[in-house]
Chain A
Amino acid sequence: MDLRIDPIQERLANAVDTVLTRTGVPHTELASIGLPALSIREESGGLGLGLDADIMVNERLGYGLEPFGAYRETVLALELVDPDDIPDSLLLELIKGIRHAMTVGTHTTPVISADAEGRLHGQSECLPVAELGLLVVRAREHDGGTGWYLVPPDLPGCRIEKVRRLGTPQLRMSLDFAEGVPVLIDDGRVETALNFARVRQAALLLGLARRAISEARDHVNSRHQYEKPLVELQTVAHGLARLSGEGDGWNLLTHETGWNCDRGRAGTQDTALLLAAAVEHAFQASRKCVQLHGVRGMLDHSVPAIIYRLVSIEGLRMGTPAELWRLAALG
């Protein structure tokens, strides 16, 4: 066992940090260092660096407050769908990060219905903002089962709506008897893809949590009350020390789970358990950050408020903590 970050992981993290300091469009800037290609499997045309690399990327995206959900959704979509089912030109655009793929009904109970002719109707859950190239929809079918459909966003009957959740821009897809293309995706493939997706999401959330702790740390060193910095109050210092320590543990667990996923040794219970822990930790860290900033943390554009919103959105994207713990317990 060796728990040190290896040089490739280090370089990748530094590259993400550098890109996030640039002023261009984040999606384009991230594409310039190989996102999402490096996370996409080789059989789909990506580099397939595995979760070793993904964890570093997502942790730094979280720390940089650029969740870039479209990247993780694209990778998930391409892990679910056989590349032969996607037109070559679109596949290339997805790999290069020019357009993005989204899954609908994958992380939640399916909300889209398919009629007997396979036409889709209903409204999707909130999706990350992106230049959409493909929707991979899991729909409730007329016989009570579920099925998978590919939906190009420009399909007749398909409408994209811009919405906000907690002040954060999101997309919502309305389908009005749109004729999607049915595809077969076996349960094993779905399970594997979701396991990988949970690890990436956990890494993102732990990056957000680490940023929350870092912001809180800076504040409690500079903010003086009762003639001393807040950090000298034991209630303040111990609360943050606990969060910092817990974060270390969850971070190592993320790497271990990722290592096991890459080698086919981790299952649904392992990844659900990891994500549940990461979500709860991120919630705690973001709330502590606002609390320690006092009223300043409640200001709309303050960093604590931004972290609070992002953690809430990203922390619930793949299910509530209660649902995830149940999945971790029961599989």
Chain B
Amino acid sequence: MDFDIPDSTVEFEQRLITVLSSPKTQELLDEVHHRADGMDGDPRPLYRHLGRAGLLAPSWPKEYGGLEADPTATVKLLEHMVQYGVPQSLYYISVQIVGSLILQSGTDQQRRTLLPRLASGELTMCILFTEPGHGSDLAGITTSATGNDDGSWTLDGRKTYNLKTAYADLALCAVRDGGETNRYESITLFLVPLTGPGISIRPIPSLSDEQFHDVRLTNVRVEREATLGRVGEGWGLITRMFTAERNGLDYYARARYWLEQITARITQAGREPHVEELVGLAHHRARLRASHLLCYRVLQGLSQGEADIAQASLAKWHCSETAQGIAWWAVQTWGVDALEPGPHTFDAAFREAPGMTISGGASEVLLDIVAGARLLDHASTGG
């Protein structure tokens, strides 16, 4: 084992901090947080600024806009994005989830045309999987794709509770392709432009700062080349994507930042910390460090082509519960004062906390996967 951070990551981190602390970044951040559009706040100009500096896809190959960096660079990127207040959801979905899937499973043409634009922040993407009747049980989706004589497809259906759709150029959409009767072998993934005819996007306010969206697809025509992977092989790609999505990194990064905020509040000048507070901090610090390592284990596996869905599920479960626990503990420790506006407010974190163990794989589903992989008689004991 080796726990040292490579020099290349140290250099990347220094460059990252330089860009994030620049006046231009601050100006763009202020615009996002102003939320002039009445929605989440549009982070795309900020992403383009960071993308031009070559910071958004450190682990990708250089030909697609990356740096071919060690996974520790990706960890540092997320840590600092959260620390500097850069909204990371749209970025994470676009680059780390969908972009990584295209890198693994896209055609040469898709990789060449899409990845450099994702890495530069010029292109953003969202995921349209969930439907009104199918959340955790994705294999039951009903949105359909009908093949046309010229090889194109027509999509019809409804997707809901999706994040960042209003700011996305393209959507990764899972649909029923009318093929095999087996519900796992008749799903195909499409890359759907969201600006075309037949698509309506309606925001749905949520408990947290991020809104959901309800998307209707009515006779939406997409070209033959819009499929990601082969027709009918969507389920395998979804499973693969979950391994990239469920590394827990974004949850860990928020947990880390929140714990820093609590620590600053507890130890602020002129205040004598209570022993119970310090003991509570130690508990959360221990779990956070374990989350970091579990998350990194998945990232390392992915970088070496060794995806493990059970380890990924475990990491997401662990990191999301760590973050949720920190947010709740902060408010339960300080009472409503923690919700007051100010530099260390937990208002947004407290509202976001319940959703952390629901979105991106509900804890119950993730534990089912871990149990299936580790506890059934045919499974290994893990670790």
Contact = CB atoms under 8 A, between A and B. Distances in A.
Interface of A: 1-6, 9, 52, 210, 213-214, 217, 220-221, 231, 234, 237-238, 240-242, 244-253, 255-256, 259-260, 269, 273-274, 276-277, 325-326, 328-330
B287 interface: yes
B225 interface: no
Nearest to B75: A1
A240 B375 CA distance: 8
Given A248-B383, A256-B289, A329-B282, A1 B300 contact: yes
A2 B2 contact: yes
A2 B1 contact: yes
Q: Which of B285, B300, B383 counts the most chain A CB atoms within 10 A?
A: B383
Contacts of A52: 1
Interface string B1-26: 11111100000000000000000000
A70 to B, nearest CB: 27
B269 interface: no
A-B CB proximity, top 8 nearest: A249-B290, A252-B293, A329-B278, A237-B371, A328-B282, A241-B370, A241-B371, A2-B2
Interface in B308-337: 311, 314, 317-318
B287 A249 contact: yes
Contacts of B367: 237-238, 241-242, 245
Contacts of B285: 273, 328
A221 B293 contact: no
Interface string B271-292: 0000100110111011101110
Nearest to A329: B278
Nearest to A324: B282
Given A214-B381, A255-B1, A244 B290 contact: no
Contact of B279 (A1, A234, A326): A326
Contacts of A9: 1
A252 B70 CA distance: 19
A238 B382 CA distance: 15
Q: Is the interface of B mostly helix, strand, loop or mixed?
A: helix
A147 to B, nearest CB: 29
B380 to A, nearest CB: 10
A273 B317 CA distance: 22
Given A255-B3, A329-B282, 11 more contacts: A1-B5, A217-B381, A237-B371, A237-B375, A244-B382, A245-B367, A245-B370, A246-B290, A249-B294, A256-B3, A326-B275
Given A1-B296, A2-B300, A247 B370 contact: no
B72 interface: yes
B240 to A, nearest CB: 21
Contacts of A238: 364, 367-368, 371
A319 to B, nearest CB: 14
A269 B286 contact: no
Interface string B126-160: 00000000000000000000000000000000000
A245 B322 CA distance: 13
Contacts of A252: 290, 293-294, 297
A328 B1 contact: no
22 contacts: A1-B70, A2-B1, A3-B300, A4-B1, A9-B1, A213-B381, A214-B381, A217-B381, A221-B377, A238-B371, A244-B370, A245-B317, A245-B318, A246-B318, A248-B294, A248-B314, A259-B1, A273-B282, A276-B282, A325-B282, A329-B275, A329-B278
B374 interface: yes
A125 B247 CA distance: 45
A256 B288 CA distance: 13
Nearest to B313: A245
A146 B294 CA distance: 42
Given A325-B279, A330-B275, A248 B382 contact: yes
Q: Which of B4, B70, B286, B300 counts the most chain A CB atoms within 10 A?
A: B286
A276 B1 CA distance: 23
Contacts of A213: 381
Contacts of B36: none
Contacts of B2: 1-2, 259
B3 A259 contact: yes
Contacts of B275: 326, 329-330
Nearest to A326: B279
Contacts of B290: 246, 249-250, 252-253, 277
